[in-house]
Structure 1
Amino acid sequence: MSDSLCHRTAGELVALIRTREASAREVVQVHLEQIERLNPEVNALVSVDPERALAAAAEADERLASGAEVGPLHGLPIAHKDTHDTAGIRTTYGSPLLADNVPDRDELVVERLKAAGTVVVGKTNVPEFAAGSHTFNPVFGTTANPYARDRSAGGSSGGAAAALACRMQPLADGSDMGGSLRNPASFNNVVGLRPAPGRVPTWPDAAAWSTLSVQGPMARTVSDAALMLSVIAGPDDRSPLSISEPGSVFDGPLDSDLSGLRVAFSLDLGGDLVVDPQVRAVLEPTAQVLADLGGAVEEAWPDLTGADEVFRTLRAWQFELALGELRDAHPERIKPSLRDNIDAGRALTGADVGRAERLHTELYHRVREFFTRYDVLALPVSQVPPFDVELEFPTEIGGVAMSSYLDWMRSAYWISATGCPAISVPAGFTPEGLPVGLQLVGPHRSERRLLEIAHAFEHATQHVTTLPAVATR
Structure 2
Amino acid sequence: MADQGLVQATACAIVDKLNSGGVTPLDLLDVLEARIAEVDGKVNALPTLCFDRARAHARELMKKPAGARGLLAGLPIPIKDLTAVAGVLTTQGSPIYKDAIPARSDLLVEHLEENGAVIYAKSNTPEFGAGANTFNEVFGATRNPWDLSRSAAGSSGGAAAALATGTAWLAHGSDMGGSLRNPASFCGVVGMRPSIGRVAHTPVAKIDRNLGVQGPMARNVEDLALLLDAMSGEHPADPLSLPLLPVSFLSAARSGKGPKRVAYSPDLGITPVDPEVAAITRKAAMRFAEAGAIVEEAHPDLRGAHECFHVLRAFDFAISKAALLRDKRDLLKPEVIWNIEEGLKLTVDDLVRAEAQRVAMTARTVEFFKSYDLLLAPATIVAPFPVENRYVAECGGKTFDNYVEWLGIVYAITLVCCPALSLPCGFTATGLPVGLQMVAAPRGETQLLAGAKVLEDILGLRGTTPIDPRPAK
Give TM-score, length-normalised by structure 2. Answer: 0.96
Give how far 1:403 is off: 2.3
Contact 1:200 1:215 in 2 (8 A): yes
Matched with 1:40 is 41
* SS of structure 2 residue aligned to 1:330: helix
Deviations 1:168-205 (A, max 9, x none): 01111111000000000000111111011111122132
Matched with 1:217 is 216
Matched, 1:452 2:453: no
Contact 1:125 1:157 in 2 (8 A): yes
Contact 2:281 2:378 in 1 (8 A): yes
Give how far 1:250 is off: 1.7
Matches of 1:122 and 1:21, distance apart in 2: 24
Letter in 1 for 2:26: R
Matches of 1:77 and 1:247, distance apart in 2: 26
Give how far 1:277 is off: 1.7
Contact 1:126 1:158 in 2 (8 A): yes
Moved more, 418-427 or 24-33: 24-33
Matched with 1:188 is 187
Give how far 1:294 is off: 1.6
Give how far 1:108 is off: 1.7
Contact 2:394 2:400 in 1 (8 A): yes
Deviations 1:13-38 (A, max 9, x none): 11101111112211111111111111
Deviations 1:202-237 (A, max 9, x none): 213222212211111111111111111111111112
Matched with 2:164 is 165
Contact 2:176 2:414 in 1 (8 A): yes
Matches of 2:117 and 2:259, distance apart in 1: 39
Contact 2:166 2:467 in 1 (8 A): no
Deviations 1:64-120 (A, max 9, x none): 3xx682111122111110000000101000001101100111112111111111111
* SS of structure 2 residue aligned to 1:218: strand
Matched with 1:81 is 80
Give how far 1:360 is off: 1.1
Deviations 1:1-20 (A, max 9, x none): 81211111111111101111
Give how far 1:332 is off: 1.2
Matched with 2:60 is 59
Give how far 1:259 is off: 6.0
Give how far 1:257 is off: 4.6
Identify if the C-alpha distance between structure 1 residues 116 and 244 changes in structure 2 by more than 3 Å, giving closer, same or farther. Answer: closer
Matched with 1:374 is 372
Contact 2:189 2:465 in 1 (8 A): no
Matched with 1:327 is 325
Matched with 1:399 is 397
Matches of 2:240 and 2:307, distance apart in 1: 23
Identify if the C-alpha distance between structure 1 residues 464 and 352 changes in structure 2 by more than 3 Å, giving closer, same or farther. Answer: same
Contact 1:258 1:295 in 2 (8 A): no
Percent of residue pairs identical: 43
Give how far 1:452 is off: 0.5
Moved more, 259-268 or 316-325: 259-268
Matched with 2:8 is 7
Aligned pair count reads 470
Letter in 1 for 2:88: I
Matches of 1:110 and 1:152, distance apart in 2: 27
Letter in 2 for 1:133: A
Moved more, 13-22 or 130-139: 13-22
Matches of 2:5 and 2:283, distance apart in 1: 33
Letter in 1 for 2:287: V
Matches of 1:44 and 1:287, distance apart in 2: 30
Matches of 1:472 and 1:336, distance apart in 2: 31
* SS of structure 1 residue aligned to 2:268: coil
Identify if the C-alpha distance between structure 1 residues 253 and 197 changes in structure 2 by more than 3 Å, giving closer, same or farther. Answer: closer
Question: Which aligned pairs between 1:380-459 and structure 2 lie closer than 5 A?
Answer: 380-459=378-457
Matches of 2:279 and 2:8, distance apart in 1: 30
Give how far 1:163 is off: 0.2
The unaligned stretches of length 5 or more in structure 1 are: none
Matches of 2:389 and 2:5, distance apart in 1: 36
Deviations 1:330-374 (A, max 9, x none): 111100111000000000001110111111111111111111111
Give how far 1:290 is off: 1.1
Matched with 1:343 is 341
Matched with 1:317 is 315
Contact 1:171 1:219 in 2 (8 A): yes
Matches of 1:77 and 1:433, distance apart in 2: 30
Matched with 1:352 is 350
* SS of structure 2 residue aligned to 1:465: coil
Query: 1 or 2 for the larger relative contact order (CA 8 Å, sep ≥6)?
Result: 2
Question: After TM superposition, which residue ranges in structure 1, 4 or more long, deviate above 4 angstroms?
Answer: 257-260
Contact 1:107 1:204 in 2 (8 A): no
Matches of 1:251 and 1:378, distance apart in 2: 21
* SS of structure 2 residue aligned to 1:419: coil
* SS of structure 1 residue aligned to 2:389: coil
Matched with 2:283 is 285
Matched with 1:30 is 31
Letter in 2 for 1:29: D
Letter in 1 for 2:400: M
Identify if the C-alpha distance between structure 1 residues 68 and 188 changes in structure 2 by more than 3 Å, giving closer, same or farther. Answer: closer
Contact 1:132 1:405 in 2 (8 A): yes
Give how far 1:248 is off: 5.3
Give how far 1:260 is off: 6.1
Give how far 1:462 is off: 2.2
Letter in 2 for 1:180: S
Matched with 2:98 is 99
Matches of 1:247 and 1:112, distance apart in 2: 19
Matches of 1:463 and 1:194, distance apart in 2: 21
Identify if the C-alpha distance between structure 1 residues 290 and 48 changes in structure 2 by more than 3 Å, giving closer, same or farther. Answer: same
Give how far 1:471 is off: 5.8
Deviations 1:378-436 (A, max 9, x none): 00110011111001001211332222111211101111111111111101110111110
Identify if the C-alpha distance between structure 1 residues 469 and 72 changes in structure 2 by more than 3 Å, giving closer, same or farther. Answer: closer
Letter in 2 for 1:145: N
Moved more, 134-143 or 459-468: 459-468
The unaligned stretches of length 5 or more in structure 2 are: none
Give how far 1:269 is off: 2.3
Matches of 1:370 and 1:185, distance apart in 2: 26
* SS of structure 1 residue aligned to 2:64: helix
Moved more, 344-353 or 243-252: 243-252
Identify if the C-alpha distance between structure 1 residues 28 and 248 changes in structure 2 by more than 3 Å, giving closer, same or farther. Answer: farther
Matches of 1:457 and 1:212, distance apart in 2: 28
Moved more, 399-408 or 339-348: 399-408
* SS of structure 1 residue aligned to 2:192: strand
* SS of structure 1 residue aligned to 2:215: strand
Letter in 1 for 2:179: S
Give how far 1:469 is off: 4.5
* SS of structure 2 residue aligned to 1:239: coil
Question: Which aligned pairs between 1:184-333 and structure 2 lie closer than 5 A?
Answer: 184-246=183-245, 249-252=248-251, 254-258=253-257, 261-270=260-269, 272-333=270-331
Give how far 1:63 is off: 3.0
